[in-house]
């Protein structure tokens, strides 16, 4: 038996791979540089050539409330493409079995609690992650209808909120447990008097360890007639505030925990009814406190080894908050400030007036939009740099990282300018770095064939360049 596990480098995929190895099952995998799951042609060809017996669709674009709210178009497009390509590609390749992994967010915002499988599509979804949920519902329904029409054993599992080894620990763009682990750890390290969590802290959530999910998936694959879709969870939940207190206790943070009611809460309560999967003979095994302890130890191990997944998201701590500019950046900054010396020689009154006017609310919003778009692209570009480095192209990897940093650094540094013309100059430097990165991608794709996603990245860089140019026009 050969199983193709998509997303094997992610938290869920790696757990599935560990489980497959433990069961001595042959696992087929493909990295992003080997296979772009959003490319229909590439996916169809891969499945036809490799002919696995089963496909587990664990690959997905995921994130918390902040990420889902900021990039809804990316979430719906990429997840729809991944599901459609793999399910139809499996049918065309004659693959008899597919297990599609969704999420408990597919159920209505005000679904009955605990949520049974039958409540799907009975009322509106939670708006903050609607795009992701719709894509997952589409994948589930594809499996259901392919099973009915084509007689293929395509079915789905809908896990609750997950945590475990190899999670993404970014403080804003990750899910709640890894985000809180990181924030409380840093608060402890910095002796911060308090930590603020999003929302009121009253919503209740259920959490499942990825190793429990992996065991559930292989259990479902062992069934001759599994349900079309089935919930996978623990059947118990707790409030976000209680979760925060538990994580703080696990880490040893003794400061104050504050809430921010101005931030969205998301769905009030999300607890799965797991009676259906329990009736097939499966139940979770890992106690929550034990899982949290293991997750924190994984975070510490990743931090000490330098393998923490979120390092690329920080981009040198984004330079905006820490001001940790490199020597080269300092030199460039000094040259630019020297060039603007004549403007800085204006009277104190005019300078103060300029400071007041340069970053009005409109400019702040536009600057944030440009910076967020550039930062989002930087995540994938840093992942690409890692792929290049893994292939021993160290010089190219370093040059790519440096150019990517220059894009976001210049936007961030420009926000502290004292005149519109100076800010526009920083944006111009950032745009030049965009062109530099784009040229590097063209060369890398041609010479090294490092990634199937360079075309998408080039399109994204073109859009960032357009946004920067438009912003400069409003300044000049």
Q: Which residues contact 423 (CB under 8 A, 6 or more apart)?
A: 358, 414, 415, 417, 475
d(CA 165, CA 298) in angstroms, rounded, equals 6
Tokens 């034990």, located at residue: 290
Q: Which of 132, 163, 169, 253 is catalytic?
A: 132
Instruction: Please confirm, yes or no, whether 132 is among the known catalytic residues.
Output: yes
Beta-ladder partners of 163: 209
Angle (nearest 5°) at CA 385 between 379 and 391: 145
d(CA 14, CA 20) in angstroms, rounded, equals 10
Scored b (16 or more CB within 10 A) or e, 428-456 reads: ebbbbbbebbbebbeebbeeeebbbbbeb
Alpha helices by DSSP H, 151-274: 176-189, 210-221, 240-251
> Are the C-beta atoms of 17 and 39 separated by less than 8 Å?
no
State the virtual CA torsion across 123, 129, 135, 138 in degrees, nearest 10. -20
Give the count of alpha carbons within 13 A of 39, CB side only: 17
Burial class (CB in 10 A: 0-12, 13-18, 19+), 332: middle
* Active-site residue list: 132
């Amino acid at each position: 038996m050969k199983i193709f596990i998509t997303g094997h480098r992610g938290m869920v995929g790696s757990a599935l791979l560990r489980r497959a190895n433990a069961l001595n099952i042959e696992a087929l995998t493909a990295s992003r540089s080997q296979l772009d799951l959003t490319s229909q042609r590439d996916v169809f060809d891969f499945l036809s050539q490799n002919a696995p017996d089963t496909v587990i669709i664990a690959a997905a674009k995921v994130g918390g409330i902040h990420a889902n709210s900021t990039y809804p178009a990316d979430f719906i497009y990429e997840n729809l493409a991944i599901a459609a390509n793999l399910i139809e590609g499996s049918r065309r390749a004659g693959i008899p079995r597919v297990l599609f992994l969704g999420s408990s967010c597919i159920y209505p915002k005000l679904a009955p609690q605990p949520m049974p499988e039958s409540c799907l599509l009975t009322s509106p979804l939670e708006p903050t992650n609607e795009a992701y949920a719709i894509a997952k519902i589409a994948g589930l329904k594809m499996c259901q209808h392919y099973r009915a029409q084509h007689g293929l054993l395509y079915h789905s599992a809908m896990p609750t909120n997950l945590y475990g080894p190899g999670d993404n620990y970014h403080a804003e763009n990750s899910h709640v447990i890894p985000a809180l682990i990181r924030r409380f750890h840093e608060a402890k390290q910095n002796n911060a008097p308090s930590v603020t969590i999003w929302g009121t802290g009253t919503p209740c959530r259920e959490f499942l360890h990825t190793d429990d999910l992996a065991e559930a998936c292989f259990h479902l694959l062992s069934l001759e007639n599994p349900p079309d879709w089935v919930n996978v969870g623990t059947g118990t939940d707790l409030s976000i505030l209680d979760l925060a207190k538990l994580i703080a206790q696990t880490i040893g943070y003794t400061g104050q925990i504050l809430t921010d009611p101005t931030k969205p809460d998301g769905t009030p309560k999300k607890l799965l009814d797991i009676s259906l999967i329990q009736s097939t003979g499966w139940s979770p095994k890992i106690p929550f406190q034990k899982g949290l302890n293991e997750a924190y130890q994984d975070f510490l191990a990743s931090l000490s080894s330098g393998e923490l997944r979120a390092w690329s998201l920080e981009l040198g701590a984004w330079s905006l908050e820490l001001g940790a500019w490199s020597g080269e950046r300092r030199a460039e900054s000094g040259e630019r400030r020297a060039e603007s010396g004549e403007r800085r020689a204006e009277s104190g009154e005019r300078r103060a007036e300029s400071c007041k006017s340069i970053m009005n609310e409109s400019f702040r919003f536009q600057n944030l939009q440009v910076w967020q778009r550039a930062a989002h692209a930087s995540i994938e570009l840093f992942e690409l740099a890692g792929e290049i480095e893994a292939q021993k192209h160290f010089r190219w990897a370093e040059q790519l990282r440096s150019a990517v940093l220059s894009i976001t650094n210049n936007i961030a540094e420009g926000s502290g300018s004292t005149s519109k013309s100076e800010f526009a100059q920083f944006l111009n430097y950032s745009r030049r770095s965009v062109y530099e990165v784009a040229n590097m991608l063209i060369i890398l794709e041609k010479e090294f064939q490092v990634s199937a996603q360079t075309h998408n990245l080039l399109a994204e860089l073109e859009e960032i360049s357009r946004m920067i140019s438009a912003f400069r026009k409003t300044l000049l």
